[in-house]
Amino acid sequence: MSIFDEPKIDTHCHVLDPERFPYFTDVAYKPAGQEMGGAKYFSHLMDSYGVQHALLVGPNSGYATDNRCLLDAIASGKGRFKGIAVVDNKCNINTLQELKSKGIIGIAFNVALHSLDFYADIETLLCQLKDLDMFAQFQVEGDLLLGLLPMLERTNVKILIDHCGRPIISKGIHQEGFKALLNLGRERKAFVKLSGFAKFSRTGYPFEDIDPYVDALLGAFGLNQCIWASDWPYLKAPYRVDYGPMLKWVERRFTIEERQKLLWDTPQQLFKFQSLQN
């Protein structure tokens, strides 16, 4: 059986539909061309590759804290989608509760884009996420995770780490930020997305230079704490990236039994998608 026929949940992708939901005027980057894709087209793509569900992540590019496109996709998806939103650091618990009622299961913090200083005041927000049993999702790079650890320890919020923690390949697997990420896995304090390879690989597909990092993550986290994501539609990718080859990377690396856990069992246990509505 091909990987395209196996049950799958994509745990990190974006929908961008500026014709229906115009971008913020003051965002630093506005995706265009093949970087864009609305929920309807993405649903067709999912059908083509046998993907049953997806966790949609609100992009800082284009939309910033405007979650209308994301929420519309979830509402129209009839159970196919859940979401990770982007909110203001001072977001109150009533707003979080409303978002949760609409299919949002967590909040994204893009430290790699905005810096640690930008998120210095989010401890109250993290505590609210903890109280609501929602996820805090972090995109870090290099050693940025180190600066978040005290706050994460104090709040004990549920943690998702994007894109393998985006290690700096030239610094090797013993770089401090990556070692801290591995510790989170060993201590069962986080879940990590095996995704975003184009953001940190230096060799391109089939991304052979990331193999030592993926091996280390699997050793520390195990398949019960690892999930796969496409990162579609590949915002700011330095070269062309396509959905099919990203799935073929998974097929190359994992047995069919391992793929069942990575692509379905673990994300379904985490995100609890319901059967699709007619």
pLDDT tier, 95 (very low <50, low <70, confident <90, very high otherwise): very high
The domain ranges of the chain are 3-271
Cα radius of gyration (the chain): 17
| pLDDT over threshold 80, residue 276 | no
Q: How confident is the model at residue 277 (pLDDT cuts 50, 70, 90)?
A: low
The first and second tokens of residue 124, run together, are 């109250």
CB 91: neighbour CB atoms within 10 A?
A: 19
* pLDDT value at residue 196: 98
As assigned by CATH, the class of the 3-271 domain is alpha beta
- Residue 251 exposed, middle or buried by CB count within 10 Å (0-12, 13-18, 19+): middle
